[in-house]
Amino acid sequence: MKKLILILVCIGLLSLPLSAMAATSADKQDAIDAGLAWLASTQTPTGTAGYWNTSGYPMADTAAALLAFVDQSYKPLGWNGADYSGVVTRATNYLLQTASTLPFATSGNWWGFGAVPVGQPADYGIRWSAGGEDTYITGLAIPALSRLVTNPYGGSALVTPGTVISTGNGLTNGKTYAEVIQRAVDSFTYYQTGPAGGNRYGGWRYYAGQIDSDMSTTQWAPIAYLFAGQVPGVTVADGTTKTALRAWLTAVQQAGGGVSYQPGDGIINATHAGGFLISNLWAGGGGIGGNGAAQALAWLNGNWLSTPSGTWYGNEGHPYAMWAVYKALETLYGTSGAGPISNLHPQGSNVIDPGAVWNWWEDYCQFIVDAQNASGYWPGYGYWDGALEAAWYINILNATTTGGGGEVPEPATMILLGSGLVGLAGYARKRMKK
């Protein structure tokens, strides 16, 4: 009987994606579990839909939280004995009920494509908009909905891309999830700043029709493209969009590798470095001297230990900066091994993963675990607290995969897989600027 159980366990392990097999500590999982429980307890129910609103932008908070719940559901431990299916359903319904239209009209199209962007099949797009923050909010909604219908770790997704929506509004009802995601992606393609933007050409700003760009905002389009590109039936932008984005990245990177909010403004921080790196990856280049990514990484390494100051500066302890950097480094390098950052915080005595290589991700995770309050939430910083911060920190702890990259399993994990000696637990109001 013991041999049969061992065989079944080995079969189960081999069916899992390699990224799921990297060792994680109980402390990380405890922090994830406590964070998800806190988020579930703070969701505001509105009939069949539910939202969070700690930032003043409930659609943004809800999209971020939804991604945290959905991505964790696909991992080996899943929700670790809890049932958050109702939380996920209500959050999904809320996003589907709050989607709005972006008309593709010639008068509003500064690209000069005509009535609609080149290659786009429809005369309107879908966006999530509040307080002039279309790009941020839509850039959070697309990853959440994309992950809902795609499981990058193997196995079934919670919903199929072809499922027809019946719990949304007049804009989303009757469409499939893939169709809604496609129209949202088309919106990003449509309102990229065109040649009329001068040195802002190729980026994105807060809302459609704004012929302007900034680095904090721009990152959300490539991030959305990376997530949506994994959804069967969805086509993301290419060609002109990437060429224009490379021009923007070159304009915004400064001598020394740092990345400004806008060309030459001197607002250089970790958030912009992370956004630059993920944008550079998707665009296939961009930056000064033909090696913009290497220079941005060198700058990030040199400034890794910077502490939060003011509203926009700093790295560890600044949720928005950490999420921007995490997405880039995870996608480019995974979370195992030494990675590109050597200028790390000293490894303290309360080590959460004694057997792991002390790298950029472990450094982040150590901070997040240590900073979590007893109630499961984190103290926040600047504009970013509550649901947004909790969701991003959970995603970092959870090693959430953005897309286009992936983790490389640790050698020790591969040895254990081959020998069949690994056991498996059961699957179960504030403006965002600069």
DSSP letters along 201-225, please? Answer: TT---SSTT-----HHHHTHHHHHH
User: Nearest Cα to 60, choosing from 206, 279, 160, 263?
Assistant: 206
Contact 237, 188 (CB under 8 A): yes
Average of per-residue pLDDT across 143-166: 97
Give the pLDDT score at 354.
86
Give the pLDDT score at 379.
94
pLDDT digits (tens, 9 = 90+) for 72-124: 999 999 999 999 999 999 999 999 999 999 877 644 444 433 344 444 555 78
195 compared with 147, residue with greater pLDDT = 147
pLDDT higher than 90, residue 7: no
pTM over 0.75: yes
pLDDT higher than 70, residue 5: no
Per-residue CA distances from 61 to 56, 348, 365, 415, 429 (Å): 9, 32, 22, 41, 11
The overall average pLDDT reported for the chain is 85
Q: Which of 34-43, 99-108, 336-345 has the lowest mean pLDDT?
A: 99-108
Domain range annotation of the chain = 1-22+410-428, 23-408
Position of tokens 């402390």? 27
pLDDT digits (tens, 9 = 90+) for 364-378: 999 999 999 999 999
Is the backbone of residue 78 left (phi > 0), alpha (psi -120 to 50) or beta? Answer: left
Give the pLDDT score at 349.
81
Q: pLDDT confidence of 23, banded at 50, 70, 90?
A: very low
Q: pLDDT confidence of 325, banded at 50, 70, 90?
A: very high
Q: Which CATH class is domain 23-408?
A: mainly alpha
